[in-house]
Amino acid sequence: MTDAESVVAALRERGLTLATAESLTAGLLASTIAEVPGCSAVLRGGVVAYSSDVKASVLGVDARLLEHVVSEQVAARMALGATQVLSADIGVGTTGAAGPASLDGQAPGTVWIAVHDARSGRTRTARLALEGDRQAIRRGAVDACLAEIVALVYEAES
């Protein structure tokens, strides 16, 4: 079973829904999950928020936070915004520097991901230092998100 299949299965078994708010990954996370048959039972949708004004106007990220877009706070607020905008149980936010140049003073490969559980109000965040070209960094971020979603779902049961 792939990581995306594990995510869909874990959410489906528990009757939970998922929404994404993606900057760095630009829809790759939602697309990866959408490859799994039956994903429509859990995937509510996604917001590709590449620009700061979309992060603010659609996802409710405070403009002051967007002064440092590659941050834990921005990823967490994006994940929360995804659950609110798309009426989902679980929301995921991704932000970072895919390269080749630095972004916001952060080296290429610096990524923040967040997974928010709207039921408990709890948010898991992780800072990643990924290597490779843009595609490898984005793919690594997606893989980390899939693992964090499953971890959050199972953690909620303990």
pLDDT tens figures, 14-60:
999 999 999 999 999 999 999 999 999 999 999 999 999 999 999 99
pLDDT for the residue numbered 1: 66
pLDDT for the residue numbered 104: 86
Write down the residue that tokens 């559980």 correspond to: 117
CATH 3.90.950.20 for domain 3-157, yes or no, is yes
d(CA 56, CA 70): 14
What distance, in Å, lies between the first and last C-alpha atoms of the chain? 23
